A = this chain, B = another copy of it.
């Protein structure tokens, strides 16, 4: 089954558009785990266990692990192994290089580490992205319109009558012969999410930027979903991971994931 269909099938079964972001910061996990040798892994394990009923995806942000050096890399591998098959795994690694190098990144992350999908940067064009799209079972979330302030520096610049992010979305879909391409579209960009959806009627969006970054769940659902009320993965990281700083962190993460998934589904019911 190609990646897009697999994601749709998982989301339908779990009735969830929620992606839990494992941006685990060793300095922010509860005190009783901070001093433990495998504290971060134990934290991830408990968060995964507590939230898996409400999550259709987990996203591991490599930045938070690379800062721990080779041990961090080992924690990524071990955390990946803990992810349930009931959810899609996303390597939030934002890779992208000339074709030859990209093929090594794709082999590392999609094959060897067995992630279902990866975030990829578009600046270097087709041959930098294709190696990640070669296996139809594995997906790419290409950066299109990101959630940060820096999105305004280049992504909104006009190329003819399109903005750069619209150009990226238009051009890159020509590479999507395996139906495994998606886009990163920031929740903070409100109605511009609709502009991307107009250009890409049925590809999945990975949507960061709710919570700490200020994006609205209602806007994402209303402007980002496909016509059937699917097609988006709404990521939440800090609000779930650090819902409590005490020993009840997993329970608190579960409550937060449930609450957010309910909010998402409330708006899906409202608009679809």
A167-B124 Cα distance, complex, nearest whole Å: 15
**Given A94-B95, A171-B154, CB of A124 within 8 Å of CB of B112:** no
**Given A70-B70, A77-B70, A94-B121, CB of A168 within 8 Å of CB of B148:** no
**Given A69-B113, A94-B96, A148-B124, CB of A157 within 8 Å of CB of B154:** no
A208-B97 Cα distance, complex, nearest whole Å: 12
A52-70 at interface with B (beta carbon < 8 Å)? 61, 63-64, 66-70
The residue in A72, A73, A107, A150 that gathers the most chain B C-beta atoms within 10 A of its C-beta is A150
Bitwise, A129-163 to B at CB < 8 A (1) or not (0) is 10000000000000100111111111101111000
A74-B95 Cα distance, complex, nearest whole Å: 20
Contacts of A128 in B (CB 8 A): 148, 150
| Interface residue stretch chosen among A6-14, A39-47, A98-106 | A98-106
Interface flag for A108 (CB, 8 Å):
yes
Tell me, rounded to whole Å, the shortest Cβ–Cβ distance linking A188 to chain B: 10
Contacts of A64 in B (CB 8 A): 101, 104
A56-B213 Cα distance, complex, nearest whole Å: 42
Do A157 and B159 have beta carbons less than 8 Å apart? yes
A69-B71 Cα distance, complex, nearest whole Å: 11
Do A143 and B157 have beta carbons less than 8 Å apart? no
A89-B123 Cα distance, complex, nearest whole Å: 24
**Contact size range, A:** 35 or more
Tell me, rounded to whole Å, the shortest Cβ–Cβ distance linking A208 to chain B: 8
| Extra A-B contacts (20), CB below 8 Å, given A123-B123, A129-B150 | A63-B97, A63-B104, A63-B105, A64-B101, A66-B104, A69-B108, A94-B97, A98-B150, A98-B208, A98-B213, A99-B148, A123-B143, A123-B146, A124-B143, A126-B150, A127-B149, A128-B150, A154-B167, A154-B171, A159-B164
* A contact residues vs B (CB 8 Å cutoff): 23, 61, 63-64, 66-74, 77, 92, 94-99, 101-102, 104-105, 107-109, 112-113, 121-129, 143, 146-155, 157-160, 164, 167-168, 171, 208, 213
21 contacts between A and B (CB under 8 A): A23-B101, A61-B97, A63-B105, A64-B104, A66-B109, A70-B71, A70-B77, A94-B95, A96-B121, A98-B146, A99-B150, A122-B123, A122-B154, A123-B123, A124-B143, A124-B148, A125-B151, A128-B150, A153-B171, A154-B168, A159-B159
